[in-house]
Amino acid sequence: MARRLRFNGTGSGVNGCPSLHEDLDTGEVVVHGLPLTDPDDIAQLRHLSDGEVPVVVPRELLVDFGPTDTVRVPDIIGLDEFDRLFTQFEHTAWRLETRRRYASDELTETYAQFTRRASVDWGGVDLAWCAERREQVALGKRFERVRIIDSPPTPGQLYLLDNARRNSGVGERIHSLWREEADRLGLPAEDFWLFDSRLVALLNFDDTDNLIDVELITQPAEVLRYAMVRDAAEHRAVHYSELAEKPTVKGN
């Protein structure tokens, strides 16, 4: 079975070499770079076994992208602290939504309207949430999302395509990305908010699609990884209205 490797980063801004990956299951680190080939250099190495290949990488690659702890203790924050992040950030709050359904959506009156195939009344719901979003946008802050959509979309994803009318109405910028494209890009199946490219709020869900807690991530190398996910998703995503018009199957 193939390893589940995560790209942590590269010390090169040109060709991506050398780079460091991490095995998500074992915690092992995979490093690739230029091979050490000079016989005089190789003769100085101890315990080099048959089949092993020495490579040369800059020290900064390991410092910047190598894991620093053998066991990482998650920093779980309360929902009140999570809510405060949406008013305390300075520039940009960016979200990746990857799930096929969110259980909390299905408890709302708007979801009931949607499933009855009625026109959803977004004007009279979550007035406090809408007011807060407008206030923050008026301060020059940006709220942006990329939502991953299956082909064909699930009922929950179709609901969120409709919901995007409300969110965009209060100043959010919402794009969509087909899951096939997200898989090709190697995007993770993680839901998260990235605030000011300096901290991440990772949303953890249980098997019934309920949010169970929020993990705060501030380690620079980890935050950089999520920023790279954002850049890849934004490059291929399209405005939500393009999928909302013909959402049934990719390419239709």
Tell me the per-residue pLDDT of 199-230, one tens digit each, with 9 for 90 and over: 999 999 999 999 999 999 998 889 999 999 99
- 191 by DSSP, 3-state: which? strand
What are the φ and ψ backbone dihedral angles of 7, each rounded to 5 degrees? -75, 120
Residue with the two structure tokens 């959803």: 120
Pairing assessment for the beta strands 29-32 and 199-205 based on DSSP bridges: unpaired
- CA separation for the pair 141, 92 (Å, rounded): 6
Least confident of 19-28, 60-69, 92-101, 211-220: 60-69
> CA 212 → CA 53, 126, 231, distances in Å?
44, 21, 27
User: For residues 31 and 55, is the Cβ–Cβ distance under 8 A?
Assistant: yes
Beta strand segments in 125-221, E: 142-149, 173-178, 191-195, 199-205, 211-217
Angle (nearest 5°) at CA 234 between 228 and 236 = 110
Least confident of 10-19, 98-107, 127-136, 183-192: 10-19
Q: What percent of the chain has pLDDT over 90?
A: 60
- Positive or negative: CA dihedral 221, 226, 227, 233: positive
Q: Give the amino acid at 5.
A: L
- pLDDT tens for residues 119-130? 888 876 678 899
Tell me the residue length of the chain: 252
Global pTM exceeds 0.95: no
Residue with the two structure tokens 């409300």: 166
| pLDDT score recorded for residue 247 | 58
